[in-house]
Amino acid sequence: MEKRISRKITVILAVLLVVFAIGGNGTASIVKASEQQVRNVIFMIPDGFSSAYATNYRLYKGKESIMDSMLVGMHRTNSANSAVTDSAAAGTAMATGVKTNNGMISMSPDGKKLRTILQASKSAGKSAGLVATSTITYATPAVFASHVTSRANEAEIAPQYLENDVDVLLGGGKKYFPDQLLNQAKEDGYRIVFERKGLTYARKSKKLLGLFSEEGMAAELDRKRTKEPSLVEMTEMALNILSQNKKGFFVMIEGSQIDWAGHANDPAWAMKDIEAFEQAVEKAVDFAKKDKHTLVVIAGDHDNGGMSVGGYGEYAAKIDLLRQVKATGNYMATQLNEDKSNIKEVVKKYTAIDLADEEVKKIKAASVPSMAINEVVSKRALVGWTTNQHTGVDIPVYAFGPGSELFKGLIDNTDLPKRMAKAMNIQLIQGK
């Protein structure tokens, strides 16, 4: 009798083990209980991304993205003082677990500094990194390792990264790191690189500061015209360096340009930068699969542009047209001559679109030619936009690896860092 009961208990425990081994990827694999411990968190933020972007990208790609199978829930994005957040307030909630006002960087509405998930990870002996295709001092990366009342104070944000001992910093924004700060970084043990090829020699570095442009990095559509690395190359290097710490790491990796594409209402820019972000996600997931102690969490901070799937009165989508676009609207506008007499030729060269005379007139008369070009491309692809600013819709949450079940359902953006801290068994307590 006792043997039969013991056998039943063993079977039940085995079933439970399999159930808990099913992460957000929906694939079962038998994992020992000890392997469920989360040492590393890779937090990936496709800035400005929403379900409409996800759907359009699936159509653009022609099949499911790697993220589709990892979908676990949604999160609410409102800030402390608005139903529509900006990146500073959204990022603060996602880094600290506390709502703040638009424009504030990891400070409460009454001006108190808020402890971040990155700082909590460092206190636990882990390494930490920030990767972005914007300036590395821009709102989203800034919230994880700095505290300022205004996101515009990027020159004040940069030195705080060194004060908080962020081990890996990769992105744009060289203008915010004067020689004095770069010299301090060298003294603090950072290897400093300014071009893509510099990453080749940085693999064995303990600390790395990569500043690949004066301001924001190039859109993925335009990157081939620069000496900048891709997001996946920066991701690979960050993971390589941070994983040297046996106590683990926390890293935030942002696809910043998705948001900028939304502000520009540029659908091709958006799709190409989602593609670049997906490649970085694939690299992160591959790392997590091999490591078995890594949690990957993906969540946009807010929607941008109010993108639609289909539009302009047609029950259709023609996203495949965007695969022929070879430059952003911003870049195309720089190729127009002074009297804009070459509009047809430029648009044809970079989009394969033969403009109608009315479209040429509209672009020529526009005060911002790039926006007019983007409107033409959007209309041809049947991608609608409601604004060139943020909206307040709920945002998809994706997760992979041990702890992914913590992010299921409709949660708040403030829940994200709290649940990461729980997964890593570290303390994210404000005021301490």
Residues near 187 by beta carbon (within 8 Å), at least 6 away in sequence: none
Write down the domain spans for the chain.
Answer: 37-307+388-424, 319-381
Q: Which residue has the tokens 């078995």?
A: 292
pLDDT reported for residue 29: 35
pLDDT for 130 equals 99
pLDDT at residue 36 in the model: 64
Residue 113 is given by DSSP the state: B
Classified by CATH at the fold level, domain 37-307+388-424 comes out as Alkaline Phosphatase, subunit A (3.40.720)
Q: What gap in Å lies between CA 419 and CA 120, rounded to an integer? A: 13
**Strand pairing of 390-391 and 303-304?**
antiparallel
Q: What is the pLDDT of residue 324?
A: 97
Task: Provide the pLDDT for residue 431.
Answer: 59
What are the beta bridge partners of residue 209?
169, 192
Q: Supply φ then ψ for residue 399, to 5 degrees.
A: -150, 150
| Catalytic entry in 50, 79, 87, 213 | 87
Do 340 and 333 form a contact (C-beta atoms < 8 A)? no
Token duo for residue 262: 């939304």
Identify the pLDDT of residue 209.
Answer: 98
Structure tokens at 205: 């570095």
The secondary element (H helix, E strand) that includes residue 331 is: helix 329-334
Encode 199-216: b = buried (16+ Cβ within 10 Å), e = exposed. beebeebebbbbbbbeeb
pLDDT value for 429: 80
pLDDT for residue 8 = 46
* Residues near 20 by beta carbon (within 8 Å), at least 6 away in sequence: 31, 36, 405
Q: Say whether 87 is catalytic.
A: yes
pLDDT along the chain (432 residues), means of 10: 46 42 39 63 98 98 98 98 98 98 98 97 98 98 98 98 98 98 98 94 93 98 97 98 97 98 98 98 98 98 98 94 98 97 98 98 97 98 98 98 98 98 92 54
